[in-house]
Structure 1
Amino acid sequence: MPTTLPALPRWLRPANRLVRLLTRLGLRLGTVHVLTVPGRRSGAPRPTPVSPLTVDGRRYVIAGLPEGDWARNVRAAGRGELAHGRRRQAVTLTEVTDADERERAMRAFPREVPHGVPMFVRLGLVTGPDPDEFAAAAQRVAAFRITAS
């Protein structure tokens, strides 16, 4: 596992703030939800935009940076709140350790969350929206199964 994270685009932090604001105002932004989990050290709420996807009746979120802050917070807390517009739902988040299940979720990602493909390209995980490329990258990401609490 690399010790340094790839450089994220400069626009990402302001864009995430805007998404959080628009969600608080009750606007739905396509597949984008705001996942809020307690910080692993502070316990303070840490919101981040995510795009859940559904595969075989199960919901998932994928962390392209498995050691990124939000993924580490999810691992530590195991729970959170998922907001989409004004709708909020308490959820349990379980990391997917089964390679086949993680691969199925990743294979579905470009179809379910096409606007998320460019970020995976930027991270160097794939070169385009090919489901086979996403499946091949499954061991390099973190996937979390979402269940209602």
Structure 2
Amino acid sequence: MSQPTPPRYLKPMNRLVKGLHKLGIPTGAAMVLTVPGRKTGRLRSTPMTPFTYRGDLYTVAGYPGADWAANARAAGIGTLSRGRRSWRVKIVELDAEEARPVLRAFPAQVPVGVGFAKRSGLVHDGTPDEFEALAGQLTVFRFDPVN
């Protein structure tokens, strides 16, 4: 299988979602994560669809090597926003073993992510087994609240 790449519509769609959130208009389950860029330090915002699993909030990078994931990893802390609400979070990366059950839960929790993964060439059917097999390839983060 070739290296998965983000679909061409992703950047324009991300700009639209960020713009709506700035106006205070939430877009479904999507949230915006803002972290400083690892090279420039400038704030970078990325829409994503976090989900709750066993009481904690997680997100999965849509494809290996995503820039936002490298920025989040380097920052270790960021701001999640939904509409005009925002809160600080500690960003904790899971290792492959910790990520397996979270990835297995992902298809049921984030159906839009399944379609994205299919279009990107990461999975064929979008089953829990396929997503679990991506442990160690896809970045999985847990967001812990910062007091």
Determine if the TM-score, normalized by the shorter chain, exceeds 0.5: yes
Q: Does 1:75 align with 2:73?
A: yes
Q: Does 1:119 align with 2:122?
A: no
**C-alpha contact (below 8 Å) 2:117/2:126 kept by paired residues:** no
TM-score by length of 1: 0.90
Q: Name the counterpart of 1:109.
A: 106
Distance 2:109 2:135 in 1: 16
Which deviates the most, 61-70 or 28-37?
61-70
Query: Matches of residues 78-89 of structure 1 in structure 2 within 5 Å?
Result: 78-89=76-87
Match of 2:55 among 45, 54, 57: 57
Q: Does 1:146 align with 2:143?
A: yes
Q: Name the counterpart of 1:29.
A: 27
> What SS does the corresponding residue of 1:138 show, helix, strand or coil?
coil
Distance 1:41 1:81 in 2: 18
Give 5+ residue unaligned stretches, structure 1.
none
Question: Which runs of 4 or more aligned residues in structure 1 lie more than 4 Å from their structure 2 counterparts after TM superposition?
Answer: none
Which deviates the most, 4-13 or 82-91?
4-13
- The share of aligned pairs that are identical, in percent, is 47
CA gap of 1:44–1:5, structure 2 versus 1, over 3 A, is farther
**C-alpha contact (below 8 Å) 2:36/2:42 kept by paired residues:** yes
Distance 1:29 1:38 in 2: 23
- AA matched with 1:147: D
Which deviates the most, 123-132 or 40-49?
123-132
**C-alpha contact (below 8 Å) 1:96/1:102 kept by paired residues:** yes
Residue 127 of structure 1: how far off its partner (Å):
1.2
Q: How many residues align?
A: 145
TM-score by length of 2: 0.91
Distance 1:128 1:138 in 2: 17
Distance 2:5 2:126 in 1: 21
Residue 8 of structure 1: how far off its partner (Å):
2.2
**C-alpha contact (below 8 Å) 2:6/2:63 kept by paired residues:** no
Q: Name the counterpart of 1:7.
A: 5
Residue 5 of structure 1: how far off its partner (Å):
5.5
> What SS does the corresponding residue of 1:88 show, helix, strand or coil?
strand
Q: CA RMSD in A?
A: 1.5
